[in-house]
Amino acid sequence: MAPGWGGTLLVGLLHSLEIAIGATCLGLLIGTAGAFGKLYGGPVTRDLLAVYTTVVRAVPELVLILLLYYAGTDLINQVLAAMGYSRVDISGLAAGIFVLGFVQGAYSTEVIRGAILAIPQGQIEAARAYGMPPGLMLRRITLPAMLPFAIPGLANLWLIATKDTALLAVVGFFELTLATRQAAGVTKAYLIFYLAAGVLYLAVTLFSNLVIGRVEARSRRGMPSVKEAR
Amino acid sequence: MSEATAINVAARASLWLKPHRIVLILIALGLALCAIFFMRWDWLPQYWAMGLMGIWRALWILAVTCALGFALAVPLGLAQAGGPIWFSAPAKVFCTIIRGTPLLLQLWLLYYGLGSIFPQYPWIRESWLWPYLRQAWPYGVVALTFSFAGYEGEVMRGAFAGVPRGQLEAARAFGMSRWKIFRRIWLPQAFYRALPTLTGETVLQLKSTPLVATISVIDIFAVSSKVRQDTYLTYEPLLLLALIYMTITGILVFVFSRIEARIPVKIG
């Protein structure tokens, strides 16, 4: 055991962070698209998105992870088989990112939708009056103006994502919680390893909080303070 | 029937029965019928009783942990909102740790970690608690209670701090004792403020209950896992499980909205 069990835990942490980052990015993409669909899409798009966000937020993450994990890998393999390719083993990393990203997407849809609605309507009308095409308006006006409203909710989602990676231990993906379980099972030092893993998760959360505070302060510069407004 | 109400009813009906929505509902019905007729459900009668037992147990865990967790959240919030530093600091540390680590890890820490420590002490094995400590469910209940208390404690902190000063000052001017102020003024008003978040927290707690299946408590999630192992079916038990959770969530949201509607909106 060259790196020792501490190294195993750190590898697990690395995998957890990879999944959390990937899932948050995928969730942001889905969330942005979903928010625009909900706000500006046609009636069918809107209804389908409402079903998506409602169902994902009403079913436990653990159940969704199992369903999407099996359904997702099954679907890809069936599509590949139908196209005449042989079955592939989906990497745990890709499957985990897809599954958690799909769940995160539902939550970020709601966060981003709320943030876009919080933009003063005049700004968007002014952009339209200048004759901006929708893409340019999205890039120059909507996204930057919504950011201060969205960051607290999105930061919360990032923290949830780091903790939700632990659920992937149940489908056998090697991340921090599963690494801890293996280390503890072999060495029989259960308490120490679980406490160590707890400290690692906590460190990620506290460090994230620090960064989030900075980012939030920067994105809010020039805006009235929330405390004074109360 | 007057013309206005007729228009009202028609408007409400047309909200639901727009053409595209009728098509979507028909598609959904078709999918559901496909699921009923083309998937295998013959295992259902055999596991029916077990499933009901599992639902009952999940609801029971949900109710107990929410009640205990809320009882714990009140002192946690109070300590953080107005307590001296030697109360507020531990409460803050508790909330930060609970909210900063995954529930699954906390659960396993309690069950495997503490569970492996307890048998080493003879006085614990001889105490009256030992028959409970040997089972899994007390660890699940404790972990879920702490989790609810940690999240709701943070909410209660804000709720206690949000009660207007004037209310408390008026109560003091009336000559109420500190306990009476807390019981009659501070707690009820903080509770009304926290009530809207309570719905969300309870739904989140419901979604956390399947985690106890990982420490061998037989709730509805564990039943579905058993069905999957016994019958080698992947989707049917999981889809039914998702439907069950969605139904429970719907009922919870409905019940809470009824409770909220009874509470006066204007406070403070």
pLDDT in tens, A152-169: 899 999 999 999 999 998
Task: Report how far residue B48's alpha carbon sits from residue B55's, in angstroms, rounded to the nearest whole number.
Answer: 11
- Residue B61 inside a domain? The answer is yes
What is the arithmetic mean of pLDDT over A111-135? 90
Regarding whether B87 and B156 lie in a shared domain, the answer is yes
Regarding whether B61 and B30 lie in a shared domain, the answer is no
The range of the structural domain enclosing residue B137 comes to 46-262
Q: What is the ipTM of this complex?
A: 0.86
Q: Find, in chain B, the residue whose alpha carbon is nearest to that of A158.
A: B100
Regarding whether B62 and B22 lie in a shared domain, the answer is no
How many distinct structural domains can be found in chain A? Answer: 1
Q: Find, in chain B, the residue whose alpha carbon is nearest to that of A177.
A: B105
Q: Which residues of B45-78 are buried (b: 16+ CB within 10 A; e: fewer)?
A: eebeeebeebbebbbebbeebbebbbebbbebbb
Q: What is the pLDDT of residue A108?
A: 94
Regarding whether B23 and B87 lie in a shared domain, the answer is no
> What rounded mean pLDDT belongs to chain A?
88
CATH code of B98's domain:
1.10.3720.10
Regarding whether B110 and B32 lie in a shared domain, the answer is no
Q: Does the beta-carbon distance from A43 to B20 stay under 8 Å?
A: yes
Cα–chain center distance at B222: 18
Q: Does the beta-carbon distance from A47 to B206 stay under 8 Å?
A: no
Task: Report how far residue A13's alpha carbon sits from residue B80's, in angstroms, rounded to the nearest whole number.
Answer: 32
A83 touches chain B (CB under 8 A): no
Regarding whether B54 and B34 lie in a shared domain, the answer is no
Regarding whether B202 and B130 lie in a shared domain, the answer is yes
Q: What is the pLDDT of residue A229?
A: 44
Helix, strand or coil for residue B255?
helix
Whether A52 has a pLDDT exceeding 90, the answer reads yes
- Residue B268 inside a domain? The answer is no
Binding-face residues of B in 196-215 toward A, CB within 8 A: 203, 206-211, 214
Tens digits of residue pLDDT in A56-108: 999 999 999 888 888 888 888 888 888 888 777 778 788 889 989 999 999 99
Regarding whether B2 and B53 lie in a shared domain, the answer is no
CATH code of A94's domain:
1.10.3720.10
Regarding whether B111 and B172 lie in a shared domain, the answer is yes
User: How many CA atoms are closer than 13 Å to the CA of B254, on its beta-carbon side?
Assistant: 6
Task: Report how far residue B155's alpha carbon sits from residue B198's, in angstroms, rounded to the nearest whole number.
Answer: 9
The range of the structural domain enclosing residue A28 comes to 4-229
Which residues from chain B sit within 8 angstroms of residue A184, using beta carbons?
112-113
* The two three-digit tokens of residue A55, written as one number: 């169902």
Whether A2 has a pLDDT exceeding 80, the answer reads no
Q: Give Cα separations from A75 to A72, A87, A88, B233 (angstroms).
A: 5, 11, 11, 16
The alpha carbon of residue A201 is apart from the nearest alpha carbon of chain B, in Å, by: 5
Q: What is the pLDDT of residue A1?
A: 44
Regarding whether B79 and B58 lie in a shared domain, the answer is yes
Q: Find, in chain A, the residue whose alpha carbon is nearest to that of B220.
A: A63
What is the arithmetic mean of pLDDT over A172-189? 89
A164 touches chain B (CB under 8 A): yes
How many distinct structural domains can be found in chain B? Answer: 2
Q: Find, in chain B, the residue whose alpha carbon is nearest to that of A55.
A: B246
Burial of residue B158 (number of CB atoms within 10 Å: 0-12, 13-18, 19+): middle
Q: Looking at the partner chain, which of B104, B113, B206 has a beta carbon nearest the beta carbon of A167?
A: B104
Q: Does the beta-carbon distance from A67 to B242 stay under 8 Å?
A: yes
Whether A3 has a pLDDT exceeding 70, the answer reads no
Q: What is the pLDDT of residue B266?
A: 57
Regarding whether B203 and B164 lie in a shared domain, the answer is yes
- Residue B267 inside a domain? The answer is no
Closest CA to B157 of B82, B213, B241: B82
Percent of chain A with pLDDT over 90: 51
CA diameter of chain A: 68
Size of interface A-B (CB pairs under 8 A): 112
- Tokens 């899932």, residue? A23
pLDDT band at A230 (very low <50, low <70, confident <90, very high): very low
Q: Find, in chain B, the residue whose alpha carbon is nearest to that of A169.
A: B104
Give pLDDT tens digits along chain B (268 positions).
466 667 777 777 777 778 888 888 899 999 999 988 888 888 888 999 999 999 999 999 999 999 999 999 999 999 998 888 899 999 999 999 999 999 999 999 999 988 888 888 888 888 888 888 888 999 999 999 999 999 999 999 999 998 888 999 999 999 999 999 999 999 998 988 888 888 889 999 999 999 999 998 999 999 999 998 999 888 889 999 999 999 999 999 999 888 888 876 655 4
C-alpha dihedral sign at B230, B231, B233, B237: negative
Q: Does the beta-carbon distance from B246 to A55 stay under 8 Å?
A: yes
Task: Report how far residue A67's alpha carbon sits from residue B234's, in angstroms, rounded to the nearest whole number.
Answer: 8
Which residues from chain A sit within 8 angstroms of residue B113, using beta carbons?
184, 190-191, 194-195
For every residue of chain A, DSSP letters joined together read --SHHHHHHHHHHHHHHHHHHHHHHHHHHHHHHHHHHHHHS-HHHHHHHHHHHHHHHHS-HHHHHHHHHHHHHHHHHHHHHHTTPPP-PPPHHHHHHHHHHHHHHHHHHHHHHHHHHHS-HHHHHHHHHTT--HHHHIIIIIHHHHHHHHHHHHHHHHHHHHHHGGGGGGGT--SHHHHHHHHHHHH--HHHHHHHHHHHHHHHHHHHHHHHHHHHHHHTTTSPPHHHH-
Closest CA to A175 of A26, A24, A70, A19: A19
E strand or H helix at B40: none
Regarding whether B231 and B98 lie in a shared domain, the answer is yes
From the CA atom positions of chain B, what is the Rg in Å?
Answer: 24
